[in-house]
């Protein structure tokens, strides 16, 4: 019997490798878009992380005929009405660096007192079968937005996101800790358990 393949819907080989390691002990061959000859991107038209993850997973599952894993994630800031949300990677305008996006967010929160700077990182993973069946998992980590960046071990908004349980910015935490507590780690661990159950139930891939 041929080993089933799981497509990770990303053009980022680093992300594909991370997920491949997470799923290494499952009877799956983990592949990614370029590896199966897919160079196109799908327009993320959803207004939530859930919608965008499903859009990506279903699009590439239908295109390739493979069970597909897709995720969408970002930062929600309560004082900004949940923004930047699904626009986290584009906040502040096109072409900005991570540092510039952090600066734009800090500027938007200028004068907002610490108790009102609550925020969360959220991630949704969607698993889509070529026949249309779709499953989702979600992870989040709550914290607050600092008034200045701290730490260098991270990307995106990690330097300005304070994690109360560790009294540190996300960018001050080790990779080992982040891989235990991050929104992506939580959603991915749940998706892995879901895959285990689906394979045990004899999911036809």
Considering the domain boundaries, does residue 64 fall inside one? yes
The question of whether 197 is a catalytic residue gets the answer: no
pTM for this entry:
0.90
- Residue 142 CA, chain-centre distance (Å), reads 15
Considering the domain boundaries, does residue 181 fall inside one? yes
What pLDDT is stored for residue 6 in this prediction?
94
What pLDDT is stored for residue 205 in this prediction?
58
Under-50 pLDDT residues of the chain: 1
Considering the domain boundaries, does residue 205 fall inside one? no
Considering the domain boundaries, does residue 113 fall inside one? yes
Considering the domain boundaries, does residue 47 fall inside one? yes
What pLDDT is stored for residue 1 in this prediction?
44
Number of domains in the chain: 1
Determine which one of 71, 72, 131, 158 is catalytic.
72
Considering the domain boundaries, does residue 136 fall inside one? yes
Q: Residue 143: which CATH number?
A: 3.90.950.10
Considering the domain boundaries, does residue 30 fall inside one? yes
Considering the domain boundaries, does residue 155 fall inside one? yes
| Residues of the domain holding 109 | 4-200
What pLDDT is stored for residue 154 in this prediction?
84
Long-range contact set of residues 21-27: C-beta below 8 Å, sequence gap at least 24: 22/188, 22/189, 22/192, 23/192, 23/195, 26/192, 26/195, 26/196, 26/199, 27/3, 27/199
Nearest C-alpha neighbor of 6 from the set 25, 32, 34, 24: 32
């Amino acid at each position: 019997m041929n080993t089933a393949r799981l497509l990770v819907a990303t053009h980022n080989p680093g992300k594909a490798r991370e997920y491949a390691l997470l799923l290494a002990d499952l009877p799956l061959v983990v592949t990614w878009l370029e590896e199966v000859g897919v160079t196109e991107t799908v327009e993320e038209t959803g207004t939530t992380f859930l919608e965008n993850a499903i859009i990506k997973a279903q699009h590439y599952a239908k295109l390739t005929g493979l069970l597909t894993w897709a995720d969408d994630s970002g930062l929600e800031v309560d004082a900004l009405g949940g923004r930047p949300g699904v626009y986290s990677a584009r906040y502040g305008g096109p072409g900005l660096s991570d540092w510039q996006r952090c600066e734009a967010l800090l500027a938007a929160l200028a004068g907002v007192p610490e108790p009102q700077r609550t925020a969360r990182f959220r991630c949704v993973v969607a698993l889509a079968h070529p026949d249309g069946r779709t499953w989702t998992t979600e992870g989040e980590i709550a914290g607050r937005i600092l008034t200045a960046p701290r730490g260098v071990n991270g990307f995106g908004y990690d330097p300005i996101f304070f994690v109360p349980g560790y009294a540190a910015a996300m960018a001050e935490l080790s990779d080992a800790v982040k891989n235990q507590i991050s929104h992506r780690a939580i959603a991915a661990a749940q998706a892995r358990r879901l895959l285990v159950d689906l394979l045990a139930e004899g999911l036809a891939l």
